[in-house]
């Protein structure tokens, strides 16, 4: 059930073209344009819940499986050695994890600098991720996660 004025809840349906994978409890979607980086995904709880501490038993059981599968799929799909996971929960009090591909060739995204990169794209000081590359990574992620998370989509 969506909470009033929740930006995460509102983003679930209108941007179906950005969805890489979904189940009754989870949705993985690419960051909307302007995406800070190609491959910047958000893993969101479908139910409006403020934090991982508030998950029900089934959501909690699935969370690590889904998160791990999404990270592995992103690492392979983006061809990067590392995927950052960032969760704050105050800007939008709805459980969502930012999954950020870490390419060592892109020095400006190392560790906490990725937050500055994000803000620079928001302000128009850096170019966003390429839309064509976003489409390609979405195709790769969909194929990988359909296989890796089979069984969770129809529960």
Q: Are 32 and 14 in contact (CB under 8 A)?
A: no
Mean predicted lDDT score pLDDT of the chain: 89
C-alpha 17/C-alpha 9 separation (Å) is 16
pLDDT score for 93: 82
pLDDT for 1 equals: 45
Domains and CATH numbers, the chain: 11-147 (3.30.428.10)
pLDDT tens string 18-70 = 999 999 999 999 999 899 999 999 999 999 999 999 999 999 999 999 999 99
Q: Give CA–CA dist 149/85, Å, rounded.
A: 19
The first and second tokens of residue 122, run together, are: 């928001």
What mean pLDDT is predicted for residues 94-103? 94
Sheet-wide strand order for 26-30: 19-22, 26-30, 41-45, 96-102, 82-86
Is 107's pLDDT higher than 90?
no
What pLDDT score was predicted for residue 2?
Answer: 47
| Segment 128-148 mean pLDDT | 94
What are 138-147's pLDDT values in tens digits?
A: 999 999 999 8
SS3 61: helix
């Amino acid at each position: 059930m969506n909470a009033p004025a929740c930006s995460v809840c509102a983003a679930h349906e209108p941007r179906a073209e950005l969805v890489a994978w979904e189940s009754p409890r989870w949705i993985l979607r690419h960051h909307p344009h302007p995406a800070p980086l190609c491959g910047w995904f958000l893993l969101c709880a479908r139910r409006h819940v403020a934090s991982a501490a508030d998950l029900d038993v089934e959501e909690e059981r699935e969370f690590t499986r889904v998160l791990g599968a999404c990270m592995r799929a992103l690492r392979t799909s983006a061809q990067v050695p590392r995927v950052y996971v960032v969760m704050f929960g105050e800007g939008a009090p709805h459980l969502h994890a930012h999954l950020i591909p870490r390419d060592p060739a892109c020095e400006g995204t190392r560790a906490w600098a990725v937050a500055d990169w994000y803000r620079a794209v928001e302000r128009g000081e850096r170019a966003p991720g390429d839309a064509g590359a976003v489409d390609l990574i979405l195709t790769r992620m969909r194929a990988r996660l359909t296989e890796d998370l089979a069984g969770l989509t129809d529960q």
